[in-house]
Structure 1
Amino acid sequence: MLTANLSEEIRELNLSYLMLAQRLLLEDRQSGMFRLGLGEDAADVIEALSPAQILRMSSSGMMLCQVRFDERLLLELLSNHEREPAVASIHAAILAASRPVENLA
C-alpha cells in the first residue's frame, strides 16, 4: 500500500514538473532554463515532448526533477524571514545563476 502511494505521488510530481517545465521553456526559453537549472540539450528534449511522452515519462517510477536543497546558503537565503524578502530572493538568484546547469550525458 505504501509503495503504491509513493509511486502515485512520484508520478504526480513528475507529471506536474514536466508540464510546468515545458510551459516555462515554451513561454521564455532562457528564463525557463535558468529557473529549472537546465542546459540547452535538456531544454530541447523537454520542449519537444508530446503529451503521450510526458505521461509515459511521468510514470517511470523515479523522480525526474532535481530539488536544489544541496546548497545550504541558497536554502538559508530563501527561508530567512529576518531579511528583506526581495533582497534575499535576488541574492539567491545570483547564487543559483553561478551553479552549473544540468545537461544530458
Structure 2
Amino acid sequence: MTSSQILAEIREANVAYLMLAQALLRADRPAALQRLGLSSNAAQVIEQMTPTQLSRAASGNTLICSFSMDDELVWDLLTHHVPAAELPAAPPARNKPR
C-alpha cells in the first residue's frame, strides 16, 4: 500500500467517523458522549460542523478517532472468536450416583 493510499484511507475513516459522531450526537447526545469518549465541548464542535468543515477536518493525515479498547483480553477474544457452530459438542451430562 502506498503512502497516498494510506492517506486516502485515513481521510475516508475520518469522514465516516465524523458523520457517525454527528448522527449519534443528534440522536442521543448523552449516549454518544459516553460511546465516543468525547468531551462536551468537542461534541458541540462536531455536532455543528457543516459538510465543508467536516470534509476539511477529515482531510488531514492524522486519524481523528482512536481505539478505546486497550485490554489485551478483549482483543484476544475479538481476534480469536470461534463461531458456536464450530465449537465441539459438549459431552452429555451424567447423573452422579449418590
TM range (shorter): 0.7 to 0.9
Q: CA RMSD in A?
A: 2.0
After TM superposition, where is structure 1 displaced by more than 3 Å over at least 4 residues in a row? 73-77
Distance in 2 separating the partners of 1:75 and 1:49: 33
| Residue in 1 that maps onto 2:11 | 11
Q: Distance in 2 between matches of 1:70 and 1:45?
A: 26
- Cα deviation for residue 73 of structure 1 reads 4.4
Bigger helix share: 1
Matched, 1:52 2:52: yes
Distance verdict in 2 for CA 1:81–1:9, change over 3 Å: closer
Instruction: Give % identity.
Output: 42
Report the Cα distance in structure 1 between the residues aligned to 2:34 and 2:9, rounded to whole angstroms: 26
- Residue segments in structure 1 that go unaligned for 5+ positions in a row: 83-105
Bigger-Rg structure (1/2): 2
TM-score (ref. length: structure 2): 0.72
Summarize deviations over 1:45-100 as a string: whole Å, max 9, x none. Answer: 111111100000110111000112323344456x3758xxxxxxxxxxxxxxxxxx
Partner of 2:32: 32
Structure 1 residues 59 and 73: CA distance shift in structure 2, 3 A: same
Write out per-residue CA displacement over residues 17-48 of structure 1, whole angstroms, 9 at most, x where no aligned residue.
00000110011100111111112111111111
- How many pairs are equivalent? 81
Which residue does the alignment assign to 1:62?
A: 62
Distance, in Å, in 2 between the alignment partners of 1:35 and 1:2 is 32
Question: TM-score if structure 1 supplies the norm length?
Answer: 0.68
Q: Show structure 2 runs of 5+ residues with no match.
A: 83-98
